[in-house]
């Protein structure tokens, strides 16, 4: 029996819970995963060719970031055709082949849906900007100028500058929370909702197992166009967006009604899963609203860890405690890395501790109550790449240089072969430079080393699959001090104690039971630097 077949059999033996509950999801950023045709840009055929690697990790699901037809101003999050495949990624036939291969390997497959905005190249926007009346006139958010010609209100965009751009053809301003090339859809409009739900049904009928929904709390604005109040004192401010409380440009309560309509469509396809991305100061309350009960979304994740400058026991304890196990409370998802956030090992540990930290971090992620998300390369312990200014592609990084989230540095090509050109990603010039440190972390190199981060990832994910307490159990925080984090995971008669040293120095610690997994140095009286242990108690 092959490794993939063994993993499929192991999944079939699990308790009859929804497949996504406690699942491990692997995020693929298509531009940077694998290039099959030598143009320097990853594509769907490249993904399909490497799905065996993904399945071998022991994950349950693959999330594919946008591959839709797009002018690529925000690299696919500016959609010009919600049903089309951009030629740089392939064809619908390539997509169908990818879905079929994923399913053959026992993997679920979910894709992004971008409902808050489209590209300005979308035919809907072309029709909307052409006339004040007509079928698409109010499919986007339009407003007249003030008497002095200035924008309708003070709203600021995430990527810098006002959220309003003047359109001479229509003689009005249009609203965009992100780039001017990403006009906001008027999701208050039932016709827009109908069109988006038709898009969802199109992909579900094509075989996807659900969606990750991008920036869903930006999907509706205050129709009264009320000015946002100034931000409260404190906090880092690098963009005009940071100077406001975002009470009116996003987070309208009617978003929930739309999500309930989406749930109805999802329920037409048994097992379909919906995961929301929610950011901002009100993220926790919005995530709870979006996942409350059974008529909304299944799960949500925020930026608790993605933008955190350090990983502390208090941060983990606060995040875990924010999702109590109670009636009507939704199910959380967690990510330490993704395409929008710098690599966690580079954010949270000094270079000399990267390997040890990566092992501890993987065990911690696998111990969290919720669904967990690994970003491509996280199973290799990839570090953040410093991309020079003259090679940056990310519009946010360019606009806010040098104060940047460095999204390009986490989007660099996946290293497959240490001794091949461009580390096996492409035979052509990659769209972003490969990481200088990544040859030593390449997949082929780590495959030969039973003590590698890659090997540790497989062990950790196998443990999570086999232990019901880790996958579905309740969590109880025992200690969250300056360095030491201890919590229990409990499911039925199974009780596991998870202990983590989140620091580069040894700490006093006492064992409580039988060790079933560990990372780095563990002694009877201490946890070494970034030491971690799971015990059966």
Q: Report the catalytic residues.
A: 214, 268
Report the alpha-carbon distance of residue 360 to residue 413 in Å, rounded: 24
- Closest by CA to 31, choosing from 82, 84, 89, is 89
What is the DSSP code string of 40-104?
A: SS--HHHHHHTHHHHHHHT-SEEEEPP-EE---SSTTSS-SEEEEE-TTT--HHHHHHHHHHHHH
Q: What are phi and psi of 495, to 5 degrees?
A: -135, 120
Looking up tokens 């997509």, which residue turns up? 95
8 Å CB contact between 439 and 423: yes
Residue 190 CB neighbours (<10 A) = 10
Q: What are phi and psi of 167, to 5 degrees?
A: -120, 110
8 Å CB contact between 276 and 245: no
Report the alpha-carbon distance of residue 118 to residue 84 in Å, rounded: 13
Query: In angstroms, what CA-CA distances link 111 with 68, 212, 221, 332, 377?
Result: 10, 6, 25, 18, 19
Report the alpha-carbon distance of residue 495 to residue 196 in Å, rounded: 44
Report the alpha-carbon distance of residue 472 to residue 464 in Å, rounded: 10
């Amino acid at each position: 029996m092959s490794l993939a077949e063994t993993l499929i059999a192991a999944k079939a033996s699990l308790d009859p819970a929804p497949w996504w509950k406690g699942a491990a999801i692997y995020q693929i950023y298509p531009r940077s995963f694998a290039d099959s045709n030598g143009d320097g840009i990853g594509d769907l055929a490249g993904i399909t060719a490497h799905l065996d690697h993904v399945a071998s990790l022991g994950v349950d699901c693959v999330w594919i970031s946008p591959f839709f037809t797009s002018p690529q101003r925000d690299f696919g999050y500016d959609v010009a055709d919600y049903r089309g495949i951009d030629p740089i990624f392939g064809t619908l036939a390539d997509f169908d082949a990818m879905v079929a291969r994923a399913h053959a390997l026992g993997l679920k497959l979910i894709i992004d849906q971008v409902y808050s905005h489209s590209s300005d190249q979308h035919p809907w926007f072309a029709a909307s900007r052409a006339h004040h009346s007509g079928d698409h006139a109010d499919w986007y958010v339009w407003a007249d100028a003030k008497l002095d010609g200035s924008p309708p209100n003070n709203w600021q965009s995430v990527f810098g500058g006002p959220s309003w751009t003047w359109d001479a053809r229509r003689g009005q301003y249009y609203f965009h929370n992100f780039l001017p090339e990403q006009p906001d859809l008027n999701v208050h409009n039932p016709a827009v909702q109908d069109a988006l739900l038709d898009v969802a049904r199109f992909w579900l009928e094509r075989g996807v197992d659900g969606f990750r929904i991008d920036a869903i709390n930006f999907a509706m604005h205050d129709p009264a166009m009320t000015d946002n109040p100034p931000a409260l004192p404190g906090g880092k401010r690098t963009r005009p967006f940071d100077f406001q409380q975002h009470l009116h440009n996003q987070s309208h309560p009617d978003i929930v009604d739309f999500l309930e309509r989406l749930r109805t469509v999802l329920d037409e396809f048994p097992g379909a899963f919906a995961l929301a991305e929610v950011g901002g100061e009100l993220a926790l309350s919005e995530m709870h609203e979006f996942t409350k009960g059974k008529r909304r979304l299944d799960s949500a994740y925020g930026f608790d860890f993605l933008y955190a400058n350090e990983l502390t026991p208090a941060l983990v304890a606060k995040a875990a405690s924010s999702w109590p196990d109670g009636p009507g409370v939704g199910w959380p998802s967690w990510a330490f890395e993704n395409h929008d956030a710098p690599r966690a090992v580079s954010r949270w540990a000094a270079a000399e501790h990267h390997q040890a930290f990566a092992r501890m971090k993987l065990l911690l992620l696998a111990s969290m109550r919720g669904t967990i998300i690994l970003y491509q390369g996280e199973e290799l312990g990839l570090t953040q790449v410093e991309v020079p200014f003259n090679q940056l592609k990310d519009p946010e990084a360019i606009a806010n240089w040098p104060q940047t989230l460095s999204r390009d540095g986490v989007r660099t090509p996946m290293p497959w072969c240490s001794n091949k050109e461009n580390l096996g990603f492409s035979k052509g010039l990659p769209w972003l430079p490969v990481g200088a440190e990544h040859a030593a972390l390449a997949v082929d190199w780590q495959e030969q080393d039973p003590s590698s981060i890659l090997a540790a990832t497989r062990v950790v994910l196998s443990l999570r699959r086999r232990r019901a307490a880790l996958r579905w159990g309740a969590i109880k925080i025992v200690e969250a001090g300056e360095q030491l984090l201890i919590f229990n995971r409990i499911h039925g008669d199974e009780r596991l104690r998870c202990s983590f040293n989140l620091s580069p120095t040894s700490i006093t610690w006492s064992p409580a039971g039988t060790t079933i997994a560990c990372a780095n140095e563990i002694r009877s009286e201490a946890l070494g630097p970034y030491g971690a242990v799971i015990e059966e108690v």
